[in-house]
Amino acid sequence: MDDAPTEDGVYPVPMIAAAELAVLREMCEADSMPARLEQCSISKLFRLVEGASFLDAPGALNHAQCALATRLNGKRADELRELLGATDDFGSAENREAALAEPAFSPGGNAGGQLSVATAGSVAGPPALQPQPSLSGMAVTDDAKEVALGMVDLGTLAELKGVSQLWLALARRVLCSRLSRCEGQPAPTQMAEITDLNIKILVDAGRPWEAAAAGRMLPSLARLRWEGFEVSVAAVRKVDLETPSQEREFLGGRAKAALLSCIEGNGEPPLELMLAAVACAGSCEVRGIPVQMMRNDSVSELDLRGRNLGVQGGMLLAHLVPIMGALTSLELRGNKLKDEGWGAIFAAICGNKVSKIVFLDASEENIGPAGVKLIAEALSTNVTGGLISINLSWNTLCGLDWEGKGIYTAEGITAIADVLRVNGGLTSLDLSSNQLCGLDRCGRGTYTAEGITAIADALLVNGGLTALNLSSNRLNDEGVSAVCKAIQSNKETKLASLDLKYNGIGPGGANAVAAMVAVTGALTQVPHSAPEKLPFLLL
C-alpha cells in the first residue's frame, strides 16, 4: 500500500481482512490484552494497529500496541532484525555501529548518514523519502508503523536503528517525536529545528548523558522539560555554578540558587533535571569538573582526586563522561562518590559505545558490596571492552573497613569474580586493602575463604589479566595457595605481575608461590612478604 496521499490529500483506506475485523472486535470488547494476540505474527500486529487506528478503536489499539511492545522490548538489534525479517543493509559493521551510537534525539532528516555524539553540528537538506520496512504479509503505512511503536521503550527503539536503514529512519522519527515534538507542531526533521528536549524520558531510559550531547549538537535548543518543570538553556549558560570544596552539597548555596533561577515550575525540581541542565549548558567549572570542556570533548586525561565531589558529583560525571571520545584516563580517588555515584559512572562508561576510557581509579572511595555489585553488572555488559585497567584498592568490597568494622559478605567480590570469568578485556585489576578474607590489617577477626576462593576460581579460566594486586588482604596461606594453584592450572593465563605483599604468608603459602612461579612462564614479578627462605621474586 502506498504511503502517499491521493491528489485530494486523503490517505487510502486500509484493506482490513474479515478475520482481522473479528479480532479487532474481540480486542474492543476485552478489558485486558486477548491471549490470542500472543500467537499473532509481528506483521499481523502491525496490521491490527492500522485497522484499530482507522476504525478509531482506542481499546483495540492499546491492546495491539501492548502486544507488539511485549514482543520487541528488551531485544538487541540482531534479535530484532531476525524477528522483523529485515536485512542488514548498512554496508559495514562501522555504519551499523554508528547508527546504534547516535543520540536518541537524532531526527529523521538525518537519513543518508549516521550521526554520533562525536559529530557535532546539524545535517542540512530536506528529509529523504524512505521506502517501507520489509514485513512479511500485507504492507502497512509508515504512519501505522509509527503508531504501532507507541509502547516500545526508548532503549528498544534505539536498538531498532541498528536493524536496517529503513528501520533506522522509522526509529528516528518515532524517537525524535517522543523526545522533541512541541504541542501542536510537527516533529523536527533537522537538528537545527529541535528546540525542546524531554529529559525525563532520557533519564527513565538510562540515557542521562544525552542531555550533554544535546548541549553540544543542538544549536537551537532552548528548553529542557520534565513533568511540570522547564529549564531555560540560555539562562543556565550564563550563571556561575562554581561551589567551594567545603560546601556540604555539591550543588548547594549560591550555585543552587543560581540554577533554580533558570527553572520554572512548582516545588523543588528533580535532582536529575538539575544535573542534566548543568551537563547540557553549564559553562564553568563545578567543583573542579570542567563541564564545558568535557561536553566539548577537549579533555584526554582528567585528574579529580580529592575534590569532595560526593554522590551528586559522580552523577554529573555520569552525564558527561560517556560522550567523550577523547577521554582515556579518569582519576577520582577520595571523592566520597559512594555506591550510587560509582554505580552511575561505571554504568555510563560500560553501557556507552563512544567511551574510550581505558583506566579508572576508584580507590579510597568506601565502595561497599552494593556498589561493587553495580560495578560488576556494568562490566559484564561492557559494550566496547575499552576499559582495561581498574583500581579498586582501599575500599570495603566485602563490607569491612581496614579496622574490621562492618559485616562481612562475599556477594560483591563474587560478582567481580564472575566478571573475570567472561571479561577478557580487563588486563589490570587492583583489589588490595579490601579485607577479602574478613581479617583487619592486624589479622584480627574471623577468617573466611569465600571471597578469595571466588577470585581463585575465576583465575582458573581468565585469560585476559596481565596484572593483579591482592596485597594487604590477609589472605594467609590458604588464600595464597588457592590463588597460586589456580594460576598454575590455567594454561591460558597471561599474568605477568601478581602482588601478594602483606598477606600473612607462611611456609605453606611460600611453597605455593614457588611452585606457581616454577611452571608459569608469563609471570615476571611476584612481590610478596613471605619468610626469608623465599625472598621477593623478580624474574
Q: What is the pLDDT of residues 284-328, one digit of tens each?
A: 899 999 999 999 999 999 999 999 999 999 999 999 998 998 999
- What's the pLDDT at 17? 67
> 464 lies in a domain?
yes
Domain shared by 174 and 297, yes or no:
no
CB 439 within 8 A of CB 409: no
Separation CA 282–CA 383 (nearest Å): 29
> 326 lies in a domain?
yes
Domain shared by 7 and 146, yes or no:
yes
Domain shared by 171 and 298, yes or no:
no
The string of pLDDT tens digits covering residues 473-487 is 999 999 999 999 999
Domain shared by 40 and 173, yes or no:
yes
Domain shared by 310 and 454, yes or no:
yes
pTM for the model stands at 0.81
The total number of structural domains in the chain stands at 2
Domain shared by 174 and 298, yes or no:
no
> 240 lies in a domain?
no
Q: Where is the domain boundary, 123, 153, 178?
A: 178
SS3 509: helix
Q: Where is the domain boundary, 178, 193, 208?
A: 178
Q: Which residue has the higher pLDDT, 424 or 189?
A: 189
Q: Residue 10 — pLDDT band, cuts 50, 70, 90?
A: low
Q: Residue 535 — pLDDT band, cuts 50, 70, 90?
A: very low
Residues 500, 501, 502: CA angle, nearest 5 degrees: 120
Domain shared by 297 and 157, yes or no:
no
> 314 lies in a domain?
yes
Whole-angstrom CA distances from 85 to 81, 143, 266, 314, 433 are 6, 20, 48, 42, 53
> 184 lies in a domain?
no
Domain shared by 373 and 504, yes or no:
yes
List residues bridging with 264 in a β-sheet. Answer: 230
CB 394 within 8 A of CB 364: yes
> 198 lies in a domain?
no
- What's the pLDDT at 538? 34
Confidence check: pLDDT of 43 > 90: no
Provide φ and ψ at 495, rounded to 5°.
-60, 125
Range(s) of the domain holding residue 351: 290-538
- What's the pLDDT at 71? 93
C-alpha torsion 197→199→204→209, nearest 10: 100
CATH number at residue 380: 3.80.10.10
Long-range pairs of 247-250 with CB within 8 A, sequence gap ≥ 24: 247/287, 249/310, 249/312, 250/286, 250/287, 250/309, 250/310, 250/311, 250/312, 250/313, 250/316
- What's the pLDDT at 57? 84
> 396 lies in a domain?
yes
> 515 lies in a domain?
yes
